[in-house]
Amino acid sequence: MTANPAARQAHAWFAHYVFRNGQALDRVRIHYSTLGEPHRDAHGEIDNAVLVLHWTGANGAALQSPAFMQSLFGPGCPLSADHFYVLFPDSVGHGKSSKPSDGLQARFPHYRYRDMVDLQHRLVSEVLGIKRLRAILGLSMGGMHAWQWAQSYPNAMDAIMPVAALPMKISGRNMLWRRMAIAAIRSDPEWQDGNYSKPPRGLFQAYGLLRMMIVGVPQIQASVADAAGADEFIAEGAAQAQSIDANDMLYSLEASADYAPEPFLASIRAKVFALNFDDDEFNPDRLGILQSLLGEVAHGRFVVQPGTSSSFGHLTMAHPQLWAAQVMQFVRWWDANR
Residue type, 13: W
Last residue of a domain, one of 235, 255, 275: 255
The answer to whether 26 and 95 have CB atoms below 8 angstroms apart is: no
**Residue 322 CB contacts under 8 Å (≥ 6 apart), including other chains:** 305, 310, 311, 312, 316
As a residue count, the chain comes to 338
Q: Cβ(307)–Cβ(216) under 8 Å?
A: yes
Residue ranges making up the domain that contains 231: 172-255
Least confident piece of the model among 75-84, 111-120, 278-287: 278-287
Q: Is pLDDT of 226 > 90?
A: no
Pair (29, 127) in one structural domain: yes
Give the count of alpha carbons within 13 A of 310, CB side only: 5
Q: How many domains does the chain have?
A: 2
pLDDT, tens only, 34-60: 999 999 999 999 999 999 999 999 999
At residue 337, the pLDDT reads 63
Q: What is the mean pLDDT of residues 183-211?
A: 88
Both 126 and 181 in a single domain? no
Query: Containing H/E element for 52?
Result: strand 49-53
Q: In Å, what is the CA distance from 99 to each residue of 8, 146, 198, 287, 295?
A: 22, 21, 17, 35, 37
Does residue 144 sit in the same domain as residue 215?
A: no
Domain ends where: 224, 255, 286? 255
Q: 1 or 300: whose pLDDT is higher?
A: 300
In a domain, 110, yes or no: yes
261 vs 220, higher pLDDT: 261
Residue 296 shares a structural domain with residue 317 = yes
pLDDT bracket for residue 1 (50, 70, 90): low
Confidence of residue 86 (pLDDT cuts 50, 70, 90): very high
- Mean pLDDT, to the nearest integer, of 267-287? 93
> Quick one: 138 and 194 in the same domain?
no
Segment holding 39, helix H or strand E? none
Q: What is the pLDDT of residue 2?
A: 64
Residue 149 has pLDDT above 80, yes or no: yes
Based on the fold, state whether residues 204 and 321 are members of the same structural domain: no
Check which CATH number belongs to the domain holding 29 and give it.
3.40.50.1820
What is the percent of the chain where pLDDT is above 70? 99
Within a domain: 197:
yes
> For 242-263, what is each residue's pLDDT tens digit?
888 999 999 999 999 999 999 9
Contact assessment for residue 206 and residue 56, using Cβ atoms and an 8 Å cutoff: no
Asked whether residue 2 is assigned to any structural domain, the reply reads no
Distance CA(192)–CA(300), nearest Å, equals: 47
